[in-house]
Amino acid sequence: MKNIAVILLFFALSCPFSTRAQDISQLTAQCAANAGEVMYLKDFIVKLDAGTPGGAPPTARFALLLSKSVVYRLSICTAPNSEGEAVLQLFDMNTLLGSTFITATGKEFPFFDFKCQKTGVYHVFISFKEGKAGEGVGVLSYVKKL
Amino acid sequence: MIKKLLYVLLTALVITSCKSGGDRSTQTDFEVPDSIMSEGMEISEETMQNIVQNISSPVEMAALIKELGVPYSSKYLSSTARVEELSTTFKQSLNLGIFGADLGYLNMYNKTSAVIDYISAIKTLADEIKVGQFFDFTTLKRLATNNQNLDSLMYISVHSFNQMDKYLHSNNRSNLSALIVTGVWIEGLYLGTQVAKETTNDMLAERIGEQKLTLNELILILEVYKKDKQYAKLIDDLQLIKDQYQNVNIKTIKGEPEMIEENGVLTIIQNDKSMVEISPEQINKIISTTEEVRNRLISL
């Protein structure tokens, strides 16, 4: 119910802005609400063009500081007009920690939880499957302390 | 005809000038665009944004304090009474961050009556630095007054801050964003250290110790603008805190991450572990220096 209230409120609040900004604001609010009973911290908005055939998919990268003994939730939402499906990955240096899309099984998740044990700088990567063009929002939320 | 027109124009000019003089004066002694940076400190906008994204959220320290079962106390908060006296963009931006952290603390404890004061102060300061459009004061006030939709109140507050930060970056005003972030951080550390003064808790001590990482990042950002005297002074103040962190050690033990799926929810368990080595004496010094610096900043 609270989540619906957040979405409705944002529909109302977004009125003065442009259509695109409004759509993104709504998508962000919706994505934050879909994350469940957690506390929104940050969002990562991406709009990527299609990649070249055979090349690496275009990727947006965001650095963020996460704290030890906190459970974070990382969610991903794809804008309705996108050609591709957005995928969010969390990296610690060059190590992939988690992803909303598990390549080996083909399983997709709207979010994943990260039990952080090390305070430091991490990177969120957002791309679109098969390097397709698309627009999406990643959301970082605070779940609880460990 | 031309004479009449000239009179009209002149009168309009005088009226406009008088009106400007009558408004609360905002000294523009700190309209330093990003183009004016310290020599030899060329950091791209992308790098700047990446650094700033690193700084933790205004509500994380407050969330930890609440989860530790520490009761609410208004004595930790910066007073909004002086908001009208903050006459430069430097002071306005810094205090905007400080009030932002306080708002996070108030929201965390559902202190909606006090929230209105802080939203009002934030809106005033945001308007002064021309980012007031991101704070829908009417809606925020209504949510706080009705004492309902507290999730929405928290979401809109934090989201408004994020929007404002993105806007400042995209409009070549990262210098103001750096000040806001500094304000948020110093007030968050102040809240944490004030609680640590009265409550001994290992997790809180560790969180205070970890701020060494954030402080280094903050100083790196601010040094870009150190040509400005106010920035240089702020760096000197932060350096005082940094000095107290000199012998705080942060170590990491390596481990492989695990992935589990329970009830459809994917969870990543990190097995790398960071550990902070911080003594009670070091904490006490950080507490007193943070108090001194933060109190100086809010009385600028």
Asked if A18 reaches chain B (Cβ–Cβ under 8 Å), the answer is no
Which of the residue ranges A121-125, B83-87, B110-114 would you say has the lowest mean pLDDT? Answer: B110-114
Q: pLDDT averaged over chain A?
A: 88
**Looking at residue B30, what is its pLDDT?**
42
User: Between B56 and B191, whose confidence is greater?
Assistant: B191
Contacts of B51 in chain A (CB under 8 A): 63
Over residues A78-106, the pLDDT tens digits come to 999 999 999 999 999 889 999 999 999 99
Which of the residue ranges A104-118, B141-155, B175-189, B221-235 would you say has the lowest mean pLDDT? Answer: B141-155
Q: Is it the case that residue B6 has pLDDT exceeding 50?
A: no
**Looking at residue B59, what is its pLDDT?**
85
Q: Order the strands of the A111-116 sheet from edge to edge.
A: A39-48, A134-145, A70-78, A111-116, B265-269, B258-262
Q: What is the ipTM of this complex?
A: 0.85
The Cα–Cα gap between B212 and B230 comes to: 23
Count other Cβ atoms within 10 Å, centred on residue B153.
Answer: 27
pTM of the model: 0.84
**Interacting residues of B88 by C-beta distance below 8 A, sequence separation 6+:** B26, B27, B28, B29, B30, B230
Report the pLDDT averaged over residues B151-157.
89
The Cα–Cα gap between B218 and B239 comes to: 11
Asked if A114 reaches chain B (Cβ–Cβ under 8 Å), the answer is yes
User: Between A63 and B21, whose confidence is greater?
Assistant: A63
**Looking at residue B45, what is its pLDDT?**
59
What is the three-class DSSP state of B130?
Answer: coil
Q: pLDDT averaged over chain B?
A: 84
Angle at B270 between CA B267 and CA B272, to 5 degrees: 175
Asked if B70 reaches chain A (Cβ–Cβ under 8 Å), the answer is no
Are B238 and B189 contacting, i.e. CB atoms less than 8 angstroms apart? Answer: no
Q: Give B28's pLDDT tier (boundaries 50, 70, 90).
A: very low
Which of the residue ranges A16-20, A57-61, B11-15, B154-158 would you say has the lowest mean pLDDT? Answer: B11-15
The Cα–Cα gap between A28 and A36 comes to: 13
**Looking at residue B25, what is its pLDDT?**
37
Asked if B214 reaches chain A (Cβ–Cβ under 8 Å), the answer is yes
Longest dimension (CA), chain A: 45
Over residues A1-13, the pLDDT tens digits come to 455 555 555 555 5
Q: Mutate one of B267, B271, B275 to test the A interface: name it (highest A CB count within 10 A).
A: B267
